């Protein structure tokens, strides 16, 4: 019967459209990319630089104290040490190749906040925050990686009454710290538009 066929066809169309709605909706949910330990163009061990040689974070990420961004060291700065230090290692040879070609190193981004979030490193360095507070125990990481940003599972845990705490670099996690700082007499803003504008 044509009617039954029509109803069947309708079912298929509806299903397709619902799937489309679901997918297109989900794809618009702007969540921060959760980067797993990443494959970097050069295997850079933070553990050696920070852990073994006790280098200051801001020696390389020198923009942190004056800019919104922490910044990455220029290839020139890397080469400042690595012209001599460990120059024979294969990874350092890769670095030297970038330097010789005058090309920037295409590092893969690990820590990323959504576009609608304004996070100034400067203000946090001014407040004497340690880098590790947000970025984890960098001195132990051979490959830098982080799982950041909000996760659905986290909200689900809250929904069933658990309080797992915000995952790093998620809003709940920022807020927790800001509230603690305010309770300790510091001035950490809690105004929405300070970070979302």
Partner 1 sequence: MSDSRTTSSPTFADVNRDVLRTLNPPGNLYFAWMCVVALGLAGFFLAWAGQVWWGMGMAGKRVPQMWAMYITTFVFWIGIGHAGTLISAILYLFRARWRTSIYRAAEAMTIFAVMTAGLFPLIHAGRMWFAYYLLPYPNQRTLWPNFRSPLVWDVFAISTYLSISTVFFIVGLVPDIAALRDASTGWRRRIFSMLALGWEGSDTQWRHYRRAYGLLASLATPLVLSVHSVVSWDFAMALVPGWHSTLFAPFFVDGAIFSGFAMVLVLVLPMRHFFGLHAYIQDKHLDAMGKLILVTGLVLTYFYICEIFTSLYSGEHIEKASLFWKVTQTYAWALWTMYFCNCVAPLILFWRKARTSPFVLYVVSILVLIGMWFERFNIIVPSLGHDFYPYTWGIYYPSPTDTAIVLGSFAFFLLLFLGFIKLMPSLSIVEVKETIPPPMREGPHAH
Partner 2 sequence: MNRRDFFKIVTASGAAAASGGCQQATETILPLVVPNDQIVPGVASWYATVCRECPAGCGVIARNREGRVVKLEGNPDHPVNEGALCLRGQAALQGLYHPDRLSGPSVREAGGPAKPILWDAAEKLVAERIGALRAAGKGRAIAVVSQLETGNLGALLDRWIQALGARPRVTLEPFGYESIRAANKITFNRDAIPHYAFEDAEVVLSFGADFVETWLSNVNYTRTFTRMHSFRDGRAGTFIHVEPRQSLTAANADEWVRNVPGTEAMLALAILRVMVDEGAADKRFAEAVAQVDLKRAAEETGVGLPTIKRLAKVFAHAKPGLAIGGGVAVTGSNATQTQVAINLLNAAAGNVGKTVRFGPDSAYGKVTPHAEVAALARAMAGGEIEVLVLGGGVDPVFTLPSGLKFADALRKVALVVSFANLPDQTTELAHVSLPDTHWLESWGDYAPREGVLGLLQPTMAPIRDARPMGDTLLRIGRVALGAEEGKGPLPWPTFEQYLKAAWEPLVKGQLEAALRRGGLFGEVAPVAVTAKVTAGEPAPAKLEGDAGGLTLLAYPSLRFYDGRSAVSSWLQEAPDSITQAVWDAWVEVPEETAKKLGVAQGDMLAVKSPHGSLELPAYISPTLHPGTVAIPLGHRYSPYQRPRYVAADLRSLNPMALLPATADATSGGLAFMAVKVTLTKLGTRRPLAVLQATHDQDDRELARHVDLRAAREQALRGKGPAEAHVTMYDNQKYPGYRWGMSIDVDACVGCQACVVACQAENNVPVVGKASAAYGRQLHWMRLERWAEGSAAHPMNMFLPMLCQHCEVAPCEPVCPVYAAYRTDEGLNGQVYNRCVGTRYCGNNCPYHVRRFNWFQYEFPAPLEVQLNPDVTVRQLGVMEKCTMCIQRIVAGKDRARDEKRSVRDGDIVPACQQTCPTKAITFGNLKDDASEAAKLARSPRAYHVLDEIGTRPSVTYLKKVVREHA
Which residues make up the interface to partner 2 (CB under 8 A)?
28, 30-31, 33, 63, 66-69, 71-77, 98-99, 102-109, 112, 114-118, 120, 122-123, 126, 191-194, 196-197
CB of 3 to partner 2, least distance (A): 38
Q: With beta carbons less than 8 A apart as the criterion, state whether 84 and 7 touch.
A: no
Residue 54 binds which of partner 1, partner 2, none (CB < 5-8 A, kind-dependent): none
Residue 93 binds which of partner 1, partner 2, none (CB < 5-8 A, kind-dependent): none
Binding site for partner 1 (CB under 8 A): 1-4, 6-7, 9-10, 13-14, 17-18, 20-21, 24-26, 28-29, 150, 154-155, 158-159, 161, 164-167, 170-173, 175
Which one, 6 or 179, has the nearer CB to partner 2? 179
* Phi-psi map region of 141: left, alpha, beta (phi>0 left; psi -120 to 50 alpha): beta
CB of 180 to partner 1, least distance (A): 14
The torsion angle over the Cα atoms of residues 145, 150, 152 and 158, rounded to 10 degrees, is 120
Residue 77 binds which of partner 2, partner 1, none (CB < 5-8 A, kind-dependent): partner 2
CB of 33 to partner 1, least distance (A): 18
Residue 133 binds which of partner 2, partner 1, none (CB < 5-8 A, kind-dependent): none
Q: With beta carbons less than 8 A apart as the criterion, state whether 10 and 84 touch.
A: no
CB of 63 to partner 2, least distance (A): 6
* Phi-psi map region of 130: left, alpha, beta (phi>0 left; psi -120 to 50 alpha): beta
* Phi-psi map region of 102: left, alpha, beta (phi>0 left; psi -120 to 50 alpha): left
Which one, 1 or 192, has the nearer CB to partner 2? 192
Which one, 6 or 68, has the nearer CB to partner 2? 68
Say if residue 90 is exposed, middle or buried (CB neighbours under 10 Å; 0-12, 13-18, 19+).
Answer: exposed
* Phi-psi map region of 59: left, alpha, beta (phi>0 left; psi -120 to 50 alpha): alpha
Q: Tokens 């459209």 correspond to what residue?
A: 17
Which one, 7 or 97, has the nearer CB to partner 1? 7
């Amino acid at each position: 019967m044509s009617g039954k066929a029509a109803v069947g066809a309708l079912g298929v169309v509806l299903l397709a459209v619902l799937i489309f709605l679901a997918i297109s909706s989900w794809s618009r949910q702007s969540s921060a990319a959760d980067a797993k330990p990443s494959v970097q163009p050069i295997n850079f061990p933070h553990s050696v630089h920070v852990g073994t040689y006790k280098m200051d974070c801001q020696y390389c990420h020198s923009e942190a104290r004056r800019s919104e961004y922490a910044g990455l060291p220029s290839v020139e700065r890397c080469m400042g040490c690595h012209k001599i230090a460990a120059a024979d290692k294969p990874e350092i040879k890769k670095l030297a190749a970038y330097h010789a070609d005058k090309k920037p190193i295409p590092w893969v981004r690990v820590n990323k906040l959504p576009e609608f979030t304004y996070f100034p490193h400067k203000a946090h360095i001014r407040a004497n925050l340690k880098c590790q507070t947000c970025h984890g125990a960098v001195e132990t990481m051979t490959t830098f990686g982080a799982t950041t940003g909000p996760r659905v599972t986290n909200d689900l845990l809250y929904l069933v009454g658990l309080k797992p705490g915000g995952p790093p670099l998620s809003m709940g996690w920022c807020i927790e710290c800001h509230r603690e700082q305010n309770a300790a007499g510091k001035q950490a803003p809690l105004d929405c538009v300070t970070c979302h504008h």
